[in-house]
Structures are given as structure tokens and as C-alpha cells.
């Protein structure tokens, strides 16, 4: 055990902690040269336990100046923020919150690779900032001991100082600093206390000294590591960092062992198991030895420098919790909170979405007024404006959901929500953390999928992402409403309290949930096999959420959606527009459009002149022209690529009770489900401006006949369409968000494939059974 | 000798061992559940599971299946 620092009493522990930072000899921190002419870029990694305020601190340090992306090949988010002060440029790399650095999966390995400078897209790391919860030092020092084992210059941040004070934990910062030989900064990130000092420390981190490694293990362990190192070099391996060799020996079945065993085979595995047996014989059982050794180190290191009262001080947070996790009240509060969140994304987002919709109309009208009818106008109005609108329309829901998630997370309730719901979610093979993402998906799968970031376990997260689109989102509602109002008779039951239409609607919402259960189960048994991940979770203390942090989160998520998924959603919309527009001769249609616009202008003029006779005639003429235009549009879509595809898939969709027109509607609604209504409007010669409650569309659908005179639609067809839309993945935006969140094209393709297959089978069964019942 | 999931609310116990060498056992130990440590059962979630414990001065929630891996002796 390193006992290098002599124990000095240190300055006043609690009272003077700000001065503790300031009073440090500044020359120790300053770079040797006063102002280097050529600033070099340095890289500093930020690591810490979950719930230590790490992201808050990261945002406070870098402001809005961070770039988010993914580390290649894994689902881990890569967040890099640049500090540029005077002549110093530092890239801060935010690593995911973790309790330990013992990698079992490729995702967990990323943090180790970054810290050891082995991650190619990051490069060499110059220093590491390790953030700990000052009120819970012992547990946090487990990770600290691993970080120190990496042998990097380290800055230790004691965050949540206020919580530590509330718990009457007293910490001798100066003493700890000397014992560990580290720079220590005290922070309250949510109040921006200590942030300036930390930024200075990071800027001047080039002058930090690498601290002594803790070496918590028995001597025998290190000699076995050395032996293993020799074996590796004999096998022709390049020199590995010592920390990797330690992991190779400790982590039974861990990621390092698997990787190196693949490379070196039998010879290596036998020497590893030999080493483990010898260690066991000497009383040093691998892998148990690590927890014991590191916690022993943590306790001995903190001994005399940090002390908590013998009985835990009951804070306001504890008293709040007694109510919020209470057997009855707890469930009630939970239901109320979830109701508000759901209501917000389902209902409150409505006016905002309407505003975006009318903005779209204004833009389309502006284009119509200024661009002559032709391909250009169609591209701008129906392709570009629809594409941009198709991206922006999701922003209110994303912003609102992340507003609530950020508030709930920042105040500490999110962990309780998972705690309360875990029992129920384990029945689905998921954990309590999947509840909020799945519930949000009933409003919209896009924020739902984005919200799965809270689930650290990759398997749980992937399964949640893949079943989230099955939840009946608000975009399905227009389809359900159109089909039920047109084909489900308005029968009332229970003395007028329940209508058959409401029952059908409810069943449609149920379909997604009922299907999601076996799908989640199957995914767990196939692609995401393995033991159920432990639900080992810390319940952090409550605190007031900070508006700045919440807003930063909302901005960050919205920006990520628009930038990363928006471009692809836009491209898909334009592509589908082109498929519906080409190939066709639009000259006649454009001529008609010009005529309609001229007539409209004439009517306006006549009305101003109060020439009612002429105005009436012109209005009649206009109606005829519009009728002609609608018929022509309908004919043109039939000859377009889209129409041809509709005809081509007709044999496939026949067993579902559909004709080619419905086929076209389904293909055209690939960017978004609700598009089918406008497409059906166009095909049934009503123009594209119809809504789900449009009486003329309802009538047209009821009147539609096959060539042999039988009606196209009946209850069975309507139900088959609804079931198809309940289960299909006709939402480009969701698929693009899945692509972004999983960092691979494989999963959106898989989602689209499995959901389309389910939708087809579901619709097939619905139609065939329906027809049996009808006849 | 008993296991952690069998404690009653408010009861305290001392950890004797964590059974198994798999990922769950390791995670439990990484969270500070090592032998000799004292644990207190703080309460259950409204649906009965998971359970909340006090360990090393912080609050940890565990499912009863995970808690059953921790062998303890009650402190009277």
C-alpha cells in the first residue's frame, strides 16, 4: 500500500473547500512555458460511476460545443467536447458511466480501449478526469482504483459536495490529495461550483504527474501477470498494456480473455487456467479477489480522510422516498407521473405539430404562388416541403419526452420508476428500465427508441429498441379512424356506454402489446441469448432538477435527431415522391393546374366586382376542372413507378383482401403510415388533401368495386388493413433512428423485415377468418 | 445463515459469501457486497420486487433472485 503522503491535518474540511482549490500552489499547475506558440491538441477522457453528475459536469465544462456520434461497431455513444482557452486546445471525451472497468462485452471494452489509447478513432489519451460522488466515496473508489491502475495522469473530481454535507460526511481533501498524489477538485456541478477550477486543471493537465498505481492485489497475482506477459510475447503477441494482462487473468470469460484466446488458442488458455489454479491454491481466488482487494484499498485509503456518521443521516430525500416507493402511494404517484408524461407527448404535442403542419401548408402555398406548375413545383411542394415537414413533425414529441425524461432523471425519480416497474417488466424478459421507452412508444416510437439510452445493458436495450415500434403510436390512429368510421357499424353496447368502434380501436392498441411479448421472448432466446442481466441499481438521492441541464438535454436530443436521422428521412420522402411522380407525362396536368389557378383568380376578381352571375358560372367551371385534375392525378399515379409496383404486388396482397390501390397506398406510406390516407385520396380521384374523417373519402371507399362488381372493402378488408398497419414498420423515421441508435443498418433492416412479415401474417389471418365469419 | 432476499424489512445482516463466479456474482461484489460487510433491508418495491438495501452507506436495489445469491448471517 502506498503511504507516500504524510498525513497533514489539512485546512478546514467543510467550510473552506473552495479555497482548498484556489490555495493550491498555482505554479504546480501552470505549464512550464508561458505561452506556447503552436497549441497542440490534447485529449482528456472523462469517466465516473453512473449518477455522479458526470454528464452535467461535462456539459458545464464544454457548453453546447460537443459533437455526438458513435464509436465504430458498437452502440456506445461517443461524445467529444472541445475546450479552447488561450493557447490550449483539449478534446474532452465523455465515456459512459460505469461501476467498473472489467469489460465483458465489446461495448464495455470501448472505455478501456479509449483510456489505454488503443481506440483508433480517438488516439492517445493524455489524462483522465475521474468523477466521484463525494457522498459515497467508498463505492466510487472501486472505479478510482481501476482508473489509477491504468497509469495515466489523473484528476479526481469530488462531485455532489452538497449531498455529502447533507449526509454529514466529512472529507479531508488536502489529506487525500497528498495520500493519492493526485490533483483533487471539489465540485457541485449542478450549481456550477468548482467548474472553473476543473476547467483550469484540465487545460493545464499537461503538467500533471502520473500517480502511483495502487497495486491492491497480493504479490503472487502480479508475478502471475508477469508470467502471462512472457507467455504472450512467446506466442508472438505485441506488447499489451499491463492493465489488459491483469484483465486477462481476472475476468473469467471476459472480453479480453475471449479475444486473446481466439488469437492464440490452446497454449494461452492453458497457461491462463494454470495461473488461476496456482492463485487459488495460494488463497487468491480469481475473480473474487478483485472486489475484495479493491474495496480493501478503498477503505484503507479513505481511512482518516473521509468519515461518515455511524448511523446514516436521514435526509429530506429519504423522507420523500418513503412516500414515493410506498406500497400504495408509490404506485399511485407512479401512475400519475406516467400519465402526465404520456399525455404530454400524446396530446400536448398536438398544437405544436399542427403549427408545423400549417407551416408546411404556408410553404406549399408560397411555392404554388411563385413557381409555375411543373416538375419543379411538384418536387418543391410535394417532395421537399413534405420531407422537411416529415422530419420536423416529430420534434414536438421528441422535445417534450426528453424534457420529462431529463426532469425525471435529474431529480432522481427515473431510477424509482424502474424500481417500481421492474417486477412487471421481468415477465416480458426485460427490466424496469425498459418501461419508459416502451410507454413513450405508444405516442411515438422515435423518442421511445431514443430513450433506450438509459438502459445500460446492451441486450435489454436492443430488445427494447426492436419491440418499441410494435407499440401503437399516434400515427396509426388516422388509419384506424378512417377504417372504423367507414366500415365498422356504429353499434352501441352496455346501454350506449361502449361502441363497437371503440372496442375495435382498443383491440388494435392491444394487438401490438400482445405481439410484442412473444417477439421479446424470441429475441431473448435467439439474437440476445445469455443470462438475465442483473438489476443492480443505485437509487440516487433526490434533488431539484436544473432548468439549464434539462434544456441542454432537450436541445441535444432534438439536434441529434434532426442532424443524424433527418437527412435520411428527408431523402426517403423525396424518393417516394419521385416514385409517384415518374414516369409520366404531366403536361396536361400542369395545364389544368394553371387553368384552375387562373379561374380561381378570376372568381376572386368577379367577386370584388360583385358580378355574381359570372362568378357562379366560373365556380361551376372550376369544380369541373378540379374533378378533371383529380381524375388525371389518379390516372398518372397508376402509370407511375409507384402504380406499377402496386400492380406488381397485387398477387401478393390479394390473399389479404386488398386490390392494387391499397397496395400502392401501403408502398407510398413507407415514409410514414398516415401518408396512406392522402394516397388513397389521390387514387380515388379526390385529390391529396383528404383527412381521415373526410366523408367523401369514406363514401368513395365504400363505393369502390372490383372489376366483377363486388365491393373492394368490407369489415374484413378494413380490419386486415388495420392489423397490417398496427404491426408493420411503415415509418422511415423510426427505422433511421434505429439505425442511429444501434449504429448499424442490420437492425433497421431486421425490424422492417420481421414487422412486415408479422403484419402480413396478421392481416392474412384477420382477412381469412373475417371472411369465414362474414359468409 | 440465510440469504439476503429472506431478510425482513429493517433487518440487518453481515455478508458471509456471494455464491457463484458468473457475471451476476461479480457485479454484486463490484457493487460492494463483499464478505464481512453489513447490509440493511430498507424495503420492497410496491409490487414486492426488487428490494432496496443499504450497503457501504448507499442505497442499492436488487431483485430477490440476485439477493438470494448473497449468503448472510442476521445481526441481532
Q: DSSP for A456-487, please give it.
A: -SHHHHHHHHHHGGGS--GGGHHHHHHHHHHH
Mean pLDDT of chain A: 83
Tell whether B2 is within 8 A of chain A (Cβ).
no
Can you give the pLDDT at residue A688?
65
Please state, rounded to an integer, the average pLDDT across all residues of chain B.
91
Please state the rounded mean pLDDT for residues A506-510: 87
Q: Are A144 and A132 within 8 A, CB to CB?
A: yes
Q: How far apart are CA B51 and CA A419, in angstroms?
A: 9
Residue A685: the pLDDT is: 63
Report pLDDT for A687.
63
3-class DSSP state of A6: coil
How far B41 CA lies from chain A's nearest CA (Å)? 14
Domain boundaries, chain B: 2-75
Q: pLDDT tens for residues A458-486?
A: 888 999 999 999 998 888 888 888 888 88
Chain A hits for B19, CB-CB cut-off 8 Å, are none
Q: Report residue A335's pLDDT band, with 50, 70 and 90 as the boundaries.
A: confident
**Residue B4 and residue B60 in contact, taking contact as beta carbons nearer than 8 Å:** no
The total number of residues written for chain A in this structure:
775
- Taking residues A662-689, what's their average pLDDT? 77
* Nearest chain A alpha carbon to B48: A423
CA distance A261 to chain B (A): 19
From A65-79, A130-144, A201-215, the region with the lowest mean pLDDT: A65-79
Residues of B in contact with A138 (CB under 8 A): 32, 56-57
CB A118 within 8 A of CB A150: no
Residue A76: predicted pLDDT: 81
Q: Which of A90-94, A255-259, A346-350 has the lowest mean pLDDT?
A: A346-350
Q: What is the pLDDT of residues A538-595, one digit of tens each?
A: 888 888 888 888 888 888 878 877 876 777 777 777 777 777 777 877 777 787 788 8
Give ∠ CA A663-A667-A668 in degrees, rounded to 5.
Answer: 115
Q: How far is A541 from chain B (nearest CA, A)?
A: 9
d(CA A348, CA A234): 66
Residue A142: closest CA among A271, A350, A298: A298
Nearest to A423 among B26, B49, B54 (CB): B49
Contact status, residue A208 vs residue A183, Cβ threshold 8 Å: yes
Question: What CATH architecture applies to the domain B2-75?
Answer: Roll (2.30)
What residues of chain A lie within 8 A of the CB of B29, using their CB? 288, 290-292
Cα–Cα–Cα angle for A606, A610, A616, nearest 5°? 60
Q: Is the pLDDT reported for residue A140 higher than 90?
A: yes
Out of A242-251, A381-390, B12-21, pick the least confident: A381-390
Per-residue model confidence as pLDDT tens digits over A711-736 = 888 889 999 999 999 999 988 889 98
Interface contact flag, B48 A423, Cβ < 8 Å:
yes
> What pLDDT score was predicted for residue A702?
85
Asked if omega into A583 is within 30° of 0 (cis), the reply is: yes
pLDDT over 50 (residue A234): yes
Instruction: Give the model's confidence band at A251: pLDDT under 50 very low, under 70 low, under 90 confident, else very high.
Output: very high
Q: Residue A99 and residue B55: Cα distance in Å, rounded?
A: 15
The residues pairing with A246 across neighbouring beta strands, listed in sequence order, are none
Q: What is the pLDDT of residues A86-96, one digit of tens each?
A: 888 999 999 98
pLDDT at residue A375 tops 80 = no
Mutate one of A137, A414, A537, A538 to test the B interface: name it (highest B CB count within 10 A): A537
Evaluate if residue A122 carries a pLDDT over 50.
yes
Are the beta carbons of B30 and A102 separated by less than 8 Å? yes
Chain centroid to CA A640: how far? 37
Q: Is the pLDDT of residue A213 over 80?
A: yes
On whether any CB of chain A is under 8 Å from the CB of B17, the answer is: no
Average pLDDT over residues A117-129: 92
CA distance B1 to chain A (A): 21
A689 pLDDT band (50/70/90 cuts)? low
Residue A528 pLDDT more than 90?
no
Query: A512: closest CA among A366, A725, A276, A340?
Result: A725
Burial of A200 (0-12, 13-18, 19+ CB in 10 A): middle
**Taking residues A349-361, what's their average pLDDT?**
84
- Contact status of B19 with chain A (Cβ, < 8 Å): no
ipTM: 0.95
B62 touches chain A (CB under 8 A): yes
Q: Is B61 part of the contact surface with chain A (CB cutoff 8 Å)?
A: yes
Q: Does B50 touch chain A (CB under 8 A)?
A: yes
Q: How far apart are the CA of A534 and the nearest CA of chain B, in angstroms?
A: 6
Q: Which residue of A has its CA nearest to B25?
A: A288
User: What are the phi and psi torsion angles at A725 (to 5°)?
Assistant: -70, -25
Nearest by CB: B58 against A136, A426, A531: A136
Please state the rounded mean pLDDT for residues A415-437. Answer: 86
Rounded to an integer, what distance in angstroms lies between the CA atom of residue A557 and that of residue A400?
A: 11
pLDDT > 60? residue A108: yes
Q: Which residue has the higher pLDDT, A114 or A306?
A: A114
- What pLDDT digit, counting tens, does each position of B3-24 carry? 999 999 889 999 999 998 888 8
* Nearest one of A407, A422, A491 to A455, comparing CA atoms: A422
Contact assignment for B31 to A99 by CB distance below 8 Å: yes
Interface test with A, best of B28, B61, B66 (most A CBs within 10 A): B61
* Residue A32 in this model has a pLDDT that exceeds 70: no
Q: Which of A156-165, A278-287, A574-583, B1-10 has the lowest mean pLDDT?
A: A574-583
Which member of B18, B23, B58 has the closest CB to residue A531?
B23
- Which residues of chain B neighbour A167 with C-beta distances below 8 Å? 57
pLDDT at A10 over 50: no
Q: At a CB cut-off of 8 Å and minimum separation 6, what does A185 contact?
A: A21, A155, A156, A157, A158, A194, A197, A198, A201
Predicted local confidence at residue A19, as pLDDT: 34
What pLDDT band is residue A145 in, cutting at 50, 70 and 90?
very high
Cell numbers of A485, please?
A: 368510421
CB proximity B36 to A under 8 Å: no
**CB-CB neighbors (< 8 A) of A531 in chain B:** 22-24
Amino acid at each position: 500500500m502506498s503511504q507516500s503522503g504524510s498525513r497533514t491535518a489539512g485546512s478546514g474540511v467543510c467550510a473552506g473547500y473552495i479555497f482548498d482549490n484556489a490555495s493550491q500552489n498555482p505554479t504546480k499547475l501552470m505549464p512550464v512555458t508561458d505561452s506556447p506558440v503552436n497549441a497542440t491538441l490534447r485529449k482528456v477522457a472523462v469517466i465516473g460511476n453512473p449518477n455522479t453528475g458526470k454528464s452535467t459536469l461535462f456539459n458545464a465544462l464544454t457548453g453546447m460545443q460537443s459533437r455526438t456520434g458513435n464509436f465504430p461497431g458498437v452502440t456506445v455513444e461517443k461524445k467529444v467536447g472541445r475546450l479552447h482557452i488561450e493557447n490550449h486546445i483539449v478534446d474532452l471525451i465523455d465515456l459512459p458511466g460505469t461501476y467498473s472497468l472489467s469489460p465483458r462485452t465489446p461495448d464495455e471494452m470501448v472505455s478501456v480501449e479509449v483510456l489505454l489509447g488503443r481506440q483508433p478513432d480517438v488516439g492517445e489519451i493524455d489524462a483522465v478526469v475521474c468523477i466521484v460522488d463525494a457522498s459515497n466515496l467508498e463505492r466510487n473508489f472501486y472505479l478510482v482504483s481501476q482508473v489509477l491502475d491504468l497509469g495515466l495522469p489523473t484528476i479526481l473530481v469530488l462531485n455532489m459536495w452538497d449531498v455529502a454535507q447533507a449526509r454529514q460526511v466529512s472529507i479531508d481533501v488536502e489529506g487525500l490529495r497528498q495520500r493519492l498524489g493526485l490533483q483533487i477538485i471539489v465540485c457541485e456541478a449542478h450549481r456550477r461550483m468548482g467548474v472553473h477550477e476543473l476547467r483550469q486543471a484540465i487545460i493545464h493537465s499537461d503538467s500533471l504527474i502520473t500517480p502511483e498505481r495502487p497495486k491492491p492485489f497480493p504479490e503472487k497475482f502480479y508475478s502471475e501477470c508477469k508470467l502471462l506477459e512472457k507467455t504472450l510475447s512467446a506466442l508472438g503477441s505485441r506488447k499489451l498494456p499491463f492493465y489488459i494482462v491483469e484483465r486477462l487473468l481476472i475476468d473469467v470469460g471476459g472480453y479480453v480473455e475471449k479475444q486473446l484466446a481466439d488469437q492464440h488458442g490452446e497454449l494461452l488458455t492453458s497457461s491462463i487456467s494454470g495461473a488461476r489454479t496456482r492463485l487459488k491454491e495460494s488463497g487468491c481466488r480469481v475473480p473474487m479477489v478483485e472486489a475484495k482487494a479493491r474495496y480493501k484499498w478503498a477503505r484503507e485509503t479513505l481511512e482518516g480522510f473521509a468519515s461518515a456518521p455511524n448511523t446514516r443521516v436521514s435526509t429530506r430525500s429519504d423522507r420523500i422516498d418513503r412516500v414515493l416507493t410506498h406500497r400504495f402511494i408509490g404506485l399511485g404517484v407512479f401512475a400519475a407521473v406516467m400519465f402526465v408524461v404520456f399525455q404530454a407527448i400524446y396530446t400536448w404535442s398536438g398544437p405544436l405539430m399542427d403549427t408545423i403542419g400549417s407551416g408546411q401548408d404556408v410553404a406549399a402555398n408560397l411555392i404554388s404562388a411563385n413557381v409555375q406548375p411543373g416538375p419543379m413545383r411538384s418536387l418543391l411542394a410535394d417532395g421537399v416541403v413534405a420531407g422537411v415537414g416529415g422530419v420536423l413533425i416529430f420534434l414536438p414529441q421528441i422535445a417534450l419526452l426528453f424534457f420529462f425524461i431529463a426532469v425525471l432523471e435529474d431529480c432522481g425519480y427515473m431510477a424509482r420508476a424502474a424500481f417500481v416497474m421492474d417486477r412487471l417488466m421481468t415477465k416480458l424478459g426485460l427490466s424496469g428500465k425498459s418501461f419508459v421507452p416502451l410507454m413513450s412508444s405508444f405516442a411515438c416510437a422515435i423518442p421511445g427508441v431514443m430513450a433506450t439510452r438509459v438502459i445500460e445493458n446492451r441486450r435489454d436495450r436492443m430488445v427494447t429498441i426492436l419491440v418499441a415500434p410494435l407499440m401503437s403510436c399516434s400515427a396509426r390512429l388516422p388509419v384506424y379512424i378512417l377504417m372504423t368510421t367507414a366500415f365498422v357499424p356504429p353499434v352501441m353496447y352496455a346501454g350506449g356506454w361502449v361502441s363497437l368502434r371503440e372496442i375495435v380501436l382498443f383491440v388494435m392498441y392491444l394487438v401490438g402489446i400482445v405481439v410484442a411479448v412473444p417477439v421479446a421472448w424470441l429475441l431473448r432466446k435467439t439474437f440476445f441469448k445469455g443470462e438475465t442481466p442483473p438489476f443492480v441499481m443505485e437509487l440516487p438521492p433526490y434533488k431539484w432538477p436544473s432548468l439549464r441541464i434539462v434544456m441542454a438535454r432537450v436541445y441535444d436530443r432534438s439536434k441529434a435527431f434532426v442532424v443524424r436521422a433527418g437527412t435520411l428521412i428527408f431523402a426517403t420522402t423525396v424518393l417516394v415522391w419521385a416514385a409517384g411522380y415518374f414516369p409520366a407525362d404531366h403536361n396536361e396536368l400542369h395545364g389544368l393546374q394553371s387553368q384552375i389557378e387562373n379561374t380561381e383568380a378570376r372568381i376572386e376578381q368577379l367577386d370584388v366586382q360583385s358580378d355574381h352571375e359570372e362568378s357562379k358560372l366560373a365556380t361551376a367551371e372550376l369544380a369541373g376542372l378540379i374533378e378533371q385534375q383529380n381524375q388525371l392525378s389518379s390516372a398518372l399515379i397508376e402509370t407511375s413507378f409507384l402504380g406499377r409496383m402496386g400492380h406488381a404486388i397485387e398477387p401478393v396482397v390479394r390473399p389479404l383482401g386488398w386490390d392494387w390501390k391499397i397496395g400502392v397506398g401501403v408502398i407510398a406510406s413507407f415514409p410514414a403510415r398516415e401518408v396512406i390516407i392522402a394516397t388513397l385520396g389521390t387514387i380515388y380521384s379526390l385529390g391529396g388533401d383528404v383527412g381521415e374523417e373526410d366523408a367523401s373519402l369514406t363514401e368513395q371507399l365504400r363505393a369502390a368495386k372490383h372489376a366483377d362488381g363486388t365491393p373492394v372493402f368490407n369489415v374484413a378488408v378494413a380490419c386486415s388493413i388495420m392489423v397490417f398497419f398496427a404491426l408493420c414498420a411503415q415509418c422511415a423515421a423510426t427505422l433511421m433512428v434505429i439505425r442511429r441508435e444501434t449504429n448499424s443498418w442490420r437492425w433497421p433492416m431486421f425490424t422492417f423485415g420481421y414487422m412486415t412479415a408479422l403484419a402480413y401474417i396478421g392481416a392474412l389471418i384477420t382477412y381469412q377468418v373475417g371472411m369465414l365469419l362474414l359468409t | 445463515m440465510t440469504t439476503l432476499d429472506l431478510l425482513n424489512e429493517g433487518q440487518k445482516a453481515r455478508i458471509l459469501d456471494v455464491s457463484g463466479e458468473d457475471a451476476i456474482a461479480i457485479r454484486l461484489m463490484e457493487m460492494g457486497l463483499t464478505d464481512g460487510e453489513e447490509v440493511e433491508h430498507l424495503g420492497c418495491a410496491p409490487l414486492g420486487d426488487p428490494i432496496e438495501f443499504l450497503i457501504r452507506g448507499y442505497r442499492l436495489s436488487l431483485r430477490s433472485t440476485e439477493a438470494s445469491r448473497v449468503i448472510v448471517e442476521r445481526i441481532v
